[in-house]
Chains A and B, each alone.
Chain A
Amino acid sequence: MPQEDLKGIRLNILEMVSRAGEGHIPSALSVVELLYSIHLNKTKNDQFFLSKGHASAALYAVLAHFGYITKSELDTFCKYDSVLGGHPHKNPEIGILNSSGSLGHGFPIAAGYALSKKIKNEPGRVFCIIGDGETNEGTIWETAMYAEQLKLLNLVAIIDNNKSQTRAMTSINLKDKFLSFGWEVREINGHDLSEIAEVLFNKNNINHPKPLCVIANTTKGKGIREMESNFFTWHHKAPTELELEMFKKEVLK
């Protein structure tokens, strides 16, 4: 059951970060449904790149859910000799195609990969999750420009629009900006599995005539009310044992 799967993933995120005393929970909670749907539905010809690397805990929890890594490996999150760091380290064997952490790098890497597929006439698409705050980086817009110029119709940018950047940029209109860069833009509820699957994987939507930008409206800290209402406080903070128990109960409700 997807809803049960999502609960399990959220619990793992909370436990990993709490155990490590390190990690970005609210940024991970906002992309759980997106990561889940992409890993559930993508074909062997598709690739996925995470550009907002600080959502690593969500990526690892989803990879564990789909069997790329074991649940016990999650216990090593952020430990000295772990392969699961605070930001993802390239490890294709477990489904991590790029190292990320510094913002504005994963998107042009994904675009480069999409170009390599185009050069080689390879089927499939390249999905990339970008944070809304990450769009402050100039390389996001350079890459948006490249994708139009190079006609990267196999590239799908998914913006995790969790309002992270509202403290800095109060009135950025991502939809108009991507439209003006020559992209097809769709706006969805990024926590609704059927909307995600529809826009990304419905066969009528697979062949987009332009590079596709999906603005996924999400809630930073989704599922934990305390984090949803105080996401700046919780951006880079681990819960105490007491808080962890409280948050877990809320997720399981």
Chain B
Amino acid sequence: MRKQFAKTLLELGKDDKLVVLIGDISHFLLKDFEESHRTRFYNMGVAEQSMMSMASGLALGGLFPVVHSITPFVTERCFEQVKDDLCYQDVGVNIVSVGSAFDYASLGCTHHSYDDIAILRSLPNMQIVYPAAPHELDTLFRETYSNGHPTYFRLPAKSHGLKTNPKFGEVETIINGKDVTLVVAGPQLENANNAVSELKEKGIECDLIYLTTIKPISEDSVGTLIKSLGKTKKLVTVEEHSVIGGIGDEISRICSKVPFRHTRLGIEDKFLLNYGSYEEHCQANGLTKEGIVKAIHEINR
């Protein structure tokens, strides 16, 4: 994902309005961009609040800034700057974060961030894009970076290996079923896809719907979700995010016209006090194929 980010940026760097601000990470990754576009690449050090407001000023000056750092530092730490200087003034700053959820598994709670979607989706004008494969990042970034609105790109460390056709603002139906609606975002698409295949052999058929845009979701896509839920009346959402305020909450909000039962798979309301690896955290939080299969069996009983 990170390599694709560097590649996409380098190609888009031909656009002389694109300016990259990094919070002292990814220097080596973005070296080619830096060397090709010295006057449009700035390492702003670790002063994320001012970096964010500076980006707002760059956008007010007619440029397309891309602000890049680790998730908690470009979302939680500078939340008021994002609110006042990006969203309230509706300027086209792109925030690209790495290290969301527990991607920095062993670094502990200060470096985990699984409330980023929750806090950012509460801000008017904010667009939230969550690509989980290199081709998705490339397509969605090109589609949105210059559209004049603040956009948050959440780049997970892990990619799913599936072929998808992302389009900004739209959900994608990966598999059609009839019994349960399974809505997933991020690299968990792979586990969800495997879970759906396994369940099919046991006679349970799921609609598998995949999100790469969390906000805004188009009316057509809301229609797709409502149609599915009208049919199945059962929803399971899967996300590497807190069960408070994330994708589960968003789907529940936009589909409130129809009645359905809802199981949220995600990170419960707690700090993750363990270290170890990404996989270990997935296991511990039920974000596995087995976890998804179990949730679907339970809601489908």
Interface residues of A, Cβ cutoff 8 Å to B = 90, 97-99, 101-102, 104-105, 107-117, 119-120, 138-139, 142-143, 145-146, 150
**Residues of chain A contacted by B40 (CB below 8 angstroms):** 119
Q: How far is the CB of B194 from chain A (nearest CB, A)?
A: 46
Q: Is B22 in contact with chain A by the CB < 8 A criterion?
A: no
Interface residues of B, Cβ cutoff 8 Å to A = 19, 39-40, 42, 44, 47, 49-50, 53-63, 65, 80-81, 84-85, 88-89
**Residues of chain A contacted by B89 (CB below 8 angstroms):** 90, 98-99
Closest to B81 in A: A105
**Residues of chain B contacted by A142 (CB below 8 angstroms):** 47, 49-50
Interface centre among A90, A115, A150 (most CB of B within 10 A): A115
Interface of A is mostly: helix
**Residues of chain A contacted by B58 (CB below 8 angstroms):** 112-113, 115-116, 119
Interface centre among B53, B54, B58, B84 (most CB of A within 10 A): B54
A-B contact pairs, 18 of them (CB 8 A): A99-B88, A101-B84, A102-B84, A105-B85, A109-B57, A110-B57, A111-B57, A112-B57, A113-B58, A113-B60, A114-B57, A115-B57, A115-B58, A116-B57, A120-B63, A139-B53, A143-B53, A146-B50
Q: How far is the CB of B205 from chain A (nearest CB, A)?
A: 51
Cα separation A119 to B17 with both chains bound (whole Å): 9
**Residues of chain A contacted by B42 (CB below 8 angstroms):** 115, 150
Interface centre among A97, A108, A111 (most CB of B within 10 A): A108
Q: Which of B49, B60, B80 contacts A112 (CB 8 A)?
A: B60
**Residues of chain B contacted by A116 (CB below 8 angstroms):** 19, 57-58, 60-63
Contact A115 B54 (CB under 8 A): yes
Contact B61 A117 (CB under 8 A): yes
**Residues of chain B contacted by A109 (CB below 8 angstroms):** 53-54, 56-57, 60, 85
**Residues of chain A contacted by B62 (CB below 8 angstroms):** 116, 120
Q: Which of A110, A117, A146 contacts B44 (CB 8 A)?
A: A146
Q: How far is the CB of B80 from chain A (nearest CB, A)?
A: 6
Cα separation A88 to B55 with both chains bound (whole Å): 20
Q: How far is the CB of A145 from chain B (nearest CB, A)?
A: 7
Interface centre among B40, B57, B63 (most CB of A within 10 A): B57
Q: 4 nearest interchain CB pairs? A: A112-B57, A116-B61, A108-B53, A142-B50
Cα separation A138 to B50 with both chains bound (whole Å): 9
Q: How far is the CB of B265 from chain A (nearest CB, A)?
A: 37
Q: Which of A90, A120, A138 contacts B49 (CB 8 A)?
A: A138
Cα separation A119 to B44 with both chains bound (whole Å): 16
Interface centre among A101, A119, A143, A150 (most CB of B within 10 A): A119
Cα separation A200 to B56 with both chains bound (whole Å): 25
Cα separation A113 to B56 with both chains bound (whole Å): 8
Q: How far is the CB of B202 from chain A (nearest CB, A)?
A: 55
**Residues of chain B contacted by A112 (CB below 8 angstroms):** 53-61, 65
Known interface pairs A102-B80, A119-B19, A119-B39. Does A113 touch B57 (Cβ–Cβ under 8 Å)?
yes
Known interface pairs A90-B89, A139-B50. Does A108 touch B39 (Cβ–Cβ under 8 Å)?
no
Closest to A117 in B: B61
Interface centre among B49, B60, B88 (most CB of A within 10 A): B60
Known interface pairs A108-B57, A119-B19. Does A139 touch B49 (Cβ–Cβ under 8 Å)?
yes
Cα separation A251 to B40 with both chains bound (whole Å): 50
Contact A113 B49 (CB under 8 A): no
Contact A108 B54 (CB under 8 A): yes
**Residues of chain B contacted by A111 (CB below 8 angstroms):** 50, 54, 57
Known interface pairs A119-B63, A143-B50, A146-B47. Does A99 touch B84 (Cβ–Cβ under 8 Å)?
yes
**Residues of chain B contacted by A102 (CB below 8 angstroms):** 80, 84
Q: How far is the CB of B207 from chain A (nearest CB, A)?
A: 43
Q: How far is the CB of B76 from chain A (nearest CB, A)?
A: 16
Cα separation A214 to B219 with both chains bound (whole Å): 52
Closest to B88 in A: A99
Cα separation A105 to B49 with both chains bound (whole Å): 9
Cα separation A119 to B40 with both chains bound (whole Å): 7
Cα separation A18 to B161 with both chains bound (whole Å): 65
Q: How far is the CB of A111 from chain B (nearest CB, A)?
A: 6
